[in-house]
């Protein structure tokens, strides 16, 4: 079985969600903490999206999407920027979407991992 990298829609979605989150401080009202939070989590999410795309048998990358999604969702409260509506809503929506695409990709990643593991 050959690896089918760069094909899973969920990983492309994680990449796009990450890029949009990282760029969101350009268009939404933020303070410095909110801007940095969105940029850092956005870059991390985009990077793990690339990781998942390049190595579709990596189940760990999908779990990282889930963790980043949860952290992104709670970040407006933890980082005290819930009063900045645009930044907070961006964080909440991107966090939920990251969790959803991570959950949606887990079965495919597990199947790919099992398929490659059976080759050894």
Q: What is the pLDDT of residues 55-106, one digit of tens each?
A: 888 888 889 999 999 999 999 999 999 999 999 999 999 999 999 999 998 8
DSSP summary character for residue 27: T
Nearest-CA neighbor of 76 among 62, 88, 65, 63? 88
Residue-wise pLDDT tens digits, 30-44: 999 999 999 999 999
Q: How many CB atoms lie within 10 A of CB 88?
A: 20
Q: 31: exposed, middle or buried (C-beta count within 10 Å: 0-12, 13-18, 19+)?
A: middle
Q: What's the pLDDT score for residue 116?
A: 58
* Banded pLDDT at 28 (limits 50, 70, 90): very high
Other Cβ atoms less than 10 A from the Cβ of 29: the count is: 14
């Amino acid at each position: 079985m050959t690896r089918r990298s760069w094909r899973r829609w969920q990983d492309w979605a994680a990449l796009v969600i990450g890029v949009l989150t990282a760029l969101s401080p350009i268009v939404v009202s933020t303070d410095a903490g909110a801007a940095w939070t969105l940029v850092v989590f956005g870059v991390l999410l985009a990077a793990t999206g690339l990781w998942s795309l390049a190595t579709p048998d990596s189940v760990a990358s999908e779990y990282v999407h889930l963790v980043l999604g949860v952290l992104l969702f709670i970040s407006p409260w933890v980082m005290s920027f819930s009063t900045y509506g645009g930044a907070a809503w961006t964080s909440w929506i991107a966090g939920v979407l990251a969790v959803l695409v991570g959950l949606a990709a887990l079965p495919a990643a597990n199947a790919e991992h099992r398929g490659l593991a059976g080759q050894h």
